[in-house]
Structure 1
Amino acid sequence: MISKKISIIIPMYNVKDYIVETIESVINQTMEDIELVLIDDCSSDGTYEIAKKYLERYPNITLIRNKKNQGVSASRNIGLKLSKGHYIYFLDSDDYIEKDAIKKLYMAAQRENADLVIGNHLIYQNEETKSPWMLEKFPSLTMAGEKNLLKNPELYFLIYSCGKLFSKELINDLKFSEQIYNGEDQPFTLYAYLNAKKIYLEPCITFYYRMRKPGDVSLSQTEGLLEEKITGFINMIELSKKYIDESPNEPNIKEDLFIFYLNRVLTLNLWNPLSKALKSPSKYNCFSIIRTLNISVNNLTDEVVLKTPAITEYIRNIKPYVYALNKEVAKEYLKLLKTIKEKRDRAKNRLL
């Protein structure tokens, strides 16, 4: 049943030092007719008890506590199921929003007849704020107007669920994958990008992303084993490709959209855990990691392998680490090189 204009969904896990500021930033919004849906994922530090105190004073707050720890994706999915708003806004439990953020996004959605509105954010660290690098590198991300992935591939650098107003109709049958533990919101947001009737960028600061100290991580920042992170990112790529393949675009456009996305993930997401694993071969199964990469490359089309610049960079960057490891890892790396070369050669021959 739709009965509110906006539903704000916040998954929580052990954020007692931040949750008051987060909740207060929502209840102090200038926008009326908002509901706040809080999902506690078995916090053990008093987060749930702090949030519970708001229930008596604010009837527009719904608070759920998971019976067992399920992760950020499952918690957001529960929030989606409970939400009653025409529009959905996701907020992490350690971040906070400007008092007029939701009103500005909602007014833009109504004015522009947009089913997805994107806002900007600032990074908050050590009592100071700064602009994120992507807003400085891509000035178009600070300019108001209608956007789409093909004309504005820089949207891939805003491919997270927070800071956006999604129409409920757009994401009504969509869920966050509960099998992806890092970058879990990328396929979700990509689906919205691909299927929105109109994407509008409203260049106002809507939320503050809190950079926390090492070891102090939020539910959506929790890190697992590096092997799991690498596998998770590969699963994320595969699900995102599925959404692209199912989108209402021509085949050549789908290929371009996937190449843009793959290049972004390889550059910004996958390389960090991969390089850490290769630097610590005593801790991690580097053979298994290289084999996983080989299998993933095998699943790519020849044309994608040829046209994705980051794949060339990977081969170049991996090489010094691999040859310092054992022969088994080096042999698997050579298989990877052979796979890439064969795919590129076939793609080039088809272009002749």
Structure 2
Amino acid sequence: MFVSFLVPIYNVEKYLKKCIDSILIQTGCPFEIILIDDGSTDSCPDICDQYQAACPDIVRVIHKENEGLLLTRRRGFKEAKGDWFICIDSDDYIDPQLLSTVVDTINHYKCDMVMYNYCYIDDFGNVSGSKLNLNDGMVYEGKKKQLLYEERMTTTNINNMWLRAIHRDIVDIEADYSEIGLRNMCEDAVQVLPLYTNTKKTVYINKVLYYYRKGNGSITSNATLANWRAIHRSFTIEQDYAVLWKIPHNVEQKRYTKQLENIINCIRWLYRDGKNAINMPMKDEIVILKKDSMFEECLKNYDKKYLSTRYNSVCVPFIAFLLKKEKQFLLDAFFKLESRLLKI
């Protein structure tokens, strides 16, 4: 067994050494570390080269022009020599026992994907748990894969590529993702769809083996309203998998409800942060959202009982109504009030 750790990198000089060091101490089987520098403009390229010089038998460095997280990770898949892949975001780090736990799990269950738990950590050392709704030692194969399908379709909890070790046989390595139009948002949500389809046996181990650094301005943390297009694209791609996976009606309603919340949150980003990456007047952006077929499908198929919070069960239908009617003045007034209440 040989494992390839794949680390896409962009301007994370503050965290990169801790990330790489946490991989170098792994035990359990031979491995390589592929550092893919996505055109970083800080000291990351030099840091990568230093590690390659110090550990030439383990570390390989790829320097490339900036293309975004999706294509950078895909480049890593193509360059990897391992029969197993483990993805690590370059501002995160892993537990010393991650690889040995994965190897033991693979040897015991003879599976082709291992998933594990994680926690959030910030720059002050504060730690908070994940929201994974999976049982320790749960084996997903045959009809039980439907449980993974439904969790993927109705939450974002199991989207992340770094949440798992994956056998290369279930990865669509040669697939061309360049035309999808995603860079740093929703790219994992799309990439995991073939994994869940192709896996024959997935095992979940309820151990915190991954430390996800939240909110540091890295390649995955800068969300703007314009990124709603990525959410839209991801949702569109999901449609084919919903049919392939034979998702039942109630799960589809949950999926549409989740997507409606995503659209409303995009509107919140616009009003609270003033982020409009396509430089379009606010009124025109609202008209585009309102006329979008995804928004209409969500309104038609969502179920209020599946909205995530009691607050959203009131606000989401109200905001959706104002959006449909293009009541810009009322939307503006509502979000100003909401922002003030959040500051209290």
TM-score of the two chains, using structure 1 as the length reference? 0.77
**Does residue 209 of structure 1 match 2:203?**
no
Per the alignment, residue 336 of structure 1 pairs with none
**Does residue 26 of structure 1 match 2:28?**
no
Structure 2 residue runs without a partner (length 5+): 333-344
Contact persistence 1:7–1:88 (CA under 8 A): yes
**Does residue 277 of structure 1 match 2:275?**
no
Contact persistence 2:13–2:43 (CA under 8 A): yes
**Does residue 192 of structure 1 match 2:212?**
no
| Residues 122-173 of structure 1: CA deviation (Å, up to 9, x unaligned) | 11113424233514xx4xx252212446335445422111120111111134
Give the SS at the match of 2:131: helix
Give the Cα separation in 1 of the matches to 2:304 and 2:200: 29
Per the alignment, residue 297 of structure 1 pairs with 294
| Residues 70-119 of structure 1: CA deviation (Å, up to 9, x unaligned) | 11111001001001111111110000001110221232123212222111
| Residues 292-348 of structure 1: CA deviation (Å, up to 9, x unaligned) | 343223774998456994598633234467775259x99xxxxxxxxxxxxxxxxxx
Give the Cα separation in 2 of the matches to 1:126 and 1:282: 25
Per the alignment, residue 54 of structure 2 pairs with 57
Per the alignment, residue 240 of structure 1 pairs with 238
Per the alignment, residue 85 of structure 1 pairs with 82
Aligned residue identity for 1:132:
G
Per the alignment, residue 318 of structure 2 pairs with 316
Superposition pairs for residues 118-157 of structure 1, below 5 Å? 118-135=115-132, 138=133, 141=134, 143-147=136-140, 148=144, 150-151=146-147, 153-155=150-152, 156=155, 157=157
Alignment partner of 2:285 out of 263, 283, 288:
288
Give the Cα separation in 2 of the matches to 1:208 and 1:298: 35
Give the SS at the match of 2:292: helix
1:20 to 1:274, Cα distance in 2 relative to 1, 3 A: same
1:133 to 1:165, Cα distance in 2 relative to 1, 3 A: closer
Give the Cα separation in 2 of the matches to 1:37 and 1:257: 38
Give the SS at the match of 1:207: strand
1:42 to 1:272, Cα distance in 2 relative to 1, 3 A: same
Contact persistence 1:116–1:165 (CA under 8 A): yes
1:324 to 1:291, Cα distance in 2 relative to 1, 3 A: closer
Give the SS at the match of 2:169: coil
1:129 to 1:235, Cα distance in 2 relative to 1, 3 A: same
Give the SS at the match of 2:120: strand
Aligned residue identity for 2:127:
K
Give the Cα separation in 1 of the matches to 2:159 and 2:117: 12
TM-score of the two chains, using structure 2 as the length reference? 0.78
Give the Cα separation in 2 of the matches to 1:324 and 1:281: 18
1:190 to 1:261, Cα distance in 2 relative to 1, 3 A: farther
Superposition pairs for residues 11-22 of structure 1, below 5 Å? 11-22=8-19
> What is the alpha-carbon root mean square deviation over aligned residues?
3.2
Give the Cα separation in 2 of the matches to 1:99 and 1:70: 31
Structure 1 residue runs without a partner (length 5+): 331-352
| Percent of matched pairs sharing the same residue | 20
Give the Cα separation in 2 of the matches to 1:301 and 1:271: 11
Give the Cα separation in 2 of the matches to 1:281 and 1:200: 43
Aligned residue identity for 2:318:
R
Per the alignment, residue 339 of structure 2 pairs with none
Aligned residue identity for 1:63:
V
Contact persistence 1:259–1:308 (CA under 8 A): no
Aligned residues: 311
